[in-house]
Amino acid sequence: MEFNIALVKGDGIGPEIVDNAVRVLEEVGRQFGHAFRCKSYLAGGCAIDACGQPLPQETVDGCLASDSVLLGAVGGPKWDGLAGDVRPEKALLKLRSVLGLYTNLRPARLYQALRAECPLRESTAEKGFDLMMVRELTGGIYFGERGHREGKYGPEAYDTEAYSELEIRRITKVAFETARKRRKKLTSIDKANVLDTSRLWRKIVHEMAADYPDVTVTDMLVDNAAMQLIRDPSQFDVVVTTNMFGDILSDEASQITGSIGLLPSASLGDTKRGMYEPIHGSAPDIAGTGKANPIATILSAAMMLRYSFDLQQEADKVEAAVDAVLNAGWRTADIVGSSGASPLTGDEMTDKIIEALRK
């Protein structure tokens, strides 16, 4: 089969990690007889330098014309002083909105080979965890009405949280479908003891549960969820929540895996086209040193194979190759931890993953 992929490499380590993920895709293509046609587009700081804006129209058009988008990361100190509207990060928000990507999927899994790096206590880490965070991405307080006004205590600022039934229904559907393909356990996280939006959220989740009798649903308040993630993350399978709660909890979930360089993400909408990117940023402190761990981006490419191209076997194979390389003790600098291994560069780590794919 043939697929067109828009590559948005971005800034800092973005180009190195995306190039390495493309090498893995090329190997998958060779083994399974697919052609992944990749074309690069500018976004973020490099686009500001080249044409004065973080998201050129050519990039929007290229992404819309593609079957899927693979993104590195954007931003860096060079552009930190710019005003909000022309900052590199604006490119991401705009791309998500133009592509209609209202779902963010973030797996967080503890690799047994990296258990020693997990910041949780040994008895908790021993149990392992493998959860999928489903975060609503285009609604809620980040997109609600906001402003400044004169309040009871003088000048004040405000932001508002609003969720329509439609927005809750469509993200909940993704969560139920995802749970169905996993361990069939869904935890819906809200703040229904305080917020009206959460009470509506809970009502819709319960209504939809009737269509998924094979999935067990539990409600959990967000404050409790923040504690439970640390106390016993193994209790979670699929978690669904709002934009802001998901933003915070998914970062918490990523931290307990021990490394930011391993975690992929997918942003999806109503079509098969998605945007796939590592959860970390552009790591300007290590850009160009060869130290960037490419695994999060390689696993993001695997999610693209799975969710956008329906290539399950191919995705399984890439994930298994990453597992095999970590189990064999190969490490990049960020995950050496207490192992005493000599660190590989990002390119060398990719070579090992490609070797494992060939076995």
Q: Site residues (CB under 6 A) for ligand NAD?
A: 13, 73-76, 89, 92, 260-261, 277, 280-286, 291-293, 296, 334
Is residue 133 exposed (0-12), middle (13-18) or buried (19+ Cβ within 10 Å)?
A: buried
- The nearer residue to ligand NAD, 131 or 335, going by C-beta atoms, is 335
How many Cβ atoms are within 10 Å of 130's Cβ, its own excluded?
16
Q: What distance separates the 2 farthest-apart alpha carbons in the chain?
A: 68
Specify the 3-state DSSP secondary structure of 159.
strand
**Cα–Cα distance for residue pair 153/118, rounded to 1 Å:** 45
CB of 47 to ligand NAD, least distance (A): 13
Go through 284-316 and write b for each residue having 16 or more CB atoms within 10 A of its CB, e for each that does not. Answer: bebbeebbbbbbbbbbbbbbbbbbbbebeebbe
Go through 40-53 and write b for each residue having 16 or more CB atoms within 10 A of its CB, e for each that does not. Answer: bbbbbbbbbeeeeb
Q: What's the start-to-end Cα distance of the chain, in Å?
A: 23
Q: Left if phi > 0, otherwise alpha if psi is -120 to 50, otherwise beta: which for 147?
A: left
Residues with Cβ within 8 Å of 351's Cβ and at least 6 positions away in sequence, in order, are: none
- The nearer residue to ligand NAD, 240 or 279, going by C-beta atoms, is 279
CB of 75 to ligand NAD, least distance (A): 3
CB of 187 to ligand NAD, least distance (A): 25
Of the candidates 100, 59, 5, 65, the one whose C-alpha atom is nearest the C-alpha of residue 303 is: 5
- The nearer residue to ligand NAD, 76 or 139, going by C-beta atoms, is 76
By residue count, the chain amounts to 359
**Cα–Cα distance for residue pair 328/38, rounded to 1 Å:** 31
Q: Which two tokens stand for residue 203?
A: 């009502």
CB of 269 to ligand NAD, least distance (A): 18
CB of 335 to ligand NAD, least distance (A): 8
CB of 17 to ligand NAD, least distance (A): 6
- The nearer residue to ligand NAD, 91 or 315, going by C-beta atoms, is 91
| 5 contacts 37 by C-beta, under 8 angstroms | yes
**Cα–Cα distance for residue pair 313/144, rounded to 1 Å:** 41
Catalytic residues: 142, 191, 223, 247, 251
CB of 59 to ligand NAD, least distance (A): 14
The torsion defined by the Cα of 55, 171, 226 and 215, in degrees rounded to 10, comes to: -150
C-beta nearest to ligand NAD: residue: 281
